[in-house]
Structure 1
Amino acid sequence: MDLEVVQGDITTQDVDAVVNAANRAMRGGGGVDGAIHRAGGPEVLEDCRRRFPHGLATGEAGWTTAGQMSAHWVIHVVGPNYRGGERDRSLLTSCYANALAVADELGATSIAFPLISAGIYGWPFDDAVDAAVDTLRSTTTNVGTARLVAFDASAYEAIERRVST
């Protein structure tokens, strides 16, 4: 699998699936979650309600339509809330592995990921980068291209340095 790093808006990536760093309720929120729900429109929320009436557990992944985005699907993952005491790293790495498994089920060949749990959930940035890169590199998948989308220049530079090693 090719692992790419870009700086930009995850909602505008030209990929088969975008990954949403969702909360357990799967009803939209702030950060990446809010941006995806705004860009995808009401279809994303409607599909979340229909497919996940009780939400998802931390570390799990599931898909919905991407609504009005150019991607075909949104793969929702619930990252661990480090600030809330969820500090088991396997919950974080399972988000990436489970998203790839869902992508394989869907037949997606390209996928864009945010840096899961590194925002409001407070996972230490350097470890969040390591968890993402290590898991994406070590997970067996049919996905041809995985893209890590950094929101700003400093995150892009840090992720790019790690991917280049």
Structure 2
Amino acid sequence: MTTIRRGRTTIEVVTADITTLEVDAIVNAANQQLKGGGGVDGAIHRAAGRAKLQEACRAIGGCPTGEARITDGFDLKARHVIHAVGPRWKDGTKGEDDLLAGAYRHSFRLAEESGDRSIAFPAISAGIYGFPKEGAARIAAAESLAAAETGKFDRIVLCCFSGADAEIYAGAFEREATS
């Protein structure tokens, strides 16, 4: 685990199951339809109670790429699930960086508006959506550090699936924090 302090905010990079973390909100790497899929999305739907979370997502009706929507956490430890839709990587010239940064910013804004002081993110778009991990990590680090500067969060967690991914994200945080 890597820990960085920025003002009153602790930022952590961990390897864990995001559904087990003790935070106010967890972010789901969602699809535009907000339908439970595989990977992190499927794990969150199962842990929250698939039928309850699917009904809440159905009521929202979808989410554009680069934005996020919020639901209750239902059976999760987290009070809220923030469904962030990151971009599919094409070639880096289709606004992918801006869309991914937007997904993080929207997630932080929704958490703040809901009174959530701690939030955990997966590696949005860095899995089956094919975003290069180093670039995704750099954007996650920059947006998390910017959110920490606001003083509105006590804890921000970047939750990685593997130790190798956690090393990439930790390195990005260390580079961004010193630049």
What TM-score range do you get, normalising by the shorter chain?
Answer: over 0.9
User: Cα distance, 1:88 vs. partner?
Assistant: 2.6
Q: What do residues 66-119 of structure 1 show as CA deviations (whole Å, max 9, x unaligned)?
A: 111111000011000114985431100011111000000100000000011000
- 1:47 pairs with 48, 56, 69, which one? 56
- 8 A contact 1:100–1:141 mirrored in 2: no
| 1:73-88 equivalence runs, <5 A | 73-83=80-90, 87-88=95-96
> What amino acid is the match of 1:105?
E
Cα distance in 1 for partners of 2:84, 2:171 equals 25
Indicate the percent of aligned positions where both proteins have the same amino acid: 43
Pick the aligned partner of 1:151 from 154, 161, 177: 161
1:58 aligns with 2:74: no
Query: 1:33 offset after TM fit, Å?
Result: 0.8
Q: Which residue matches 2:6? A: none
Maintained 8 Å contact 1:63/1:102: yes
8 Å Cα contact 1:64/1:73 also seen in 2: yes
Counterpart-to-counterpart distance in 1, 2:40 and 2:168: 19
- SS for the counterpart of 1:147 is strand
Q: Distance in 2 between matches of 1:106 and 1:84?
A: 35
Show structure 1 runs of 5+ residues with no match. none
- Paired residues, number: 163
Please, which runs of 5 or more residues in structure 2 have no aligned partner?
Answer: 1-8
Calculate the aligned-residue CA RMSD, in Å: 1.5
- The match for 1:13 among 16, 21, 31 is 21
Between the aligned partners of 1:35 and 1:131, the Cα distance in structure 2 is: 24
Measure the CA separation in 2 of the matches of 1:56 and 1:159: 26
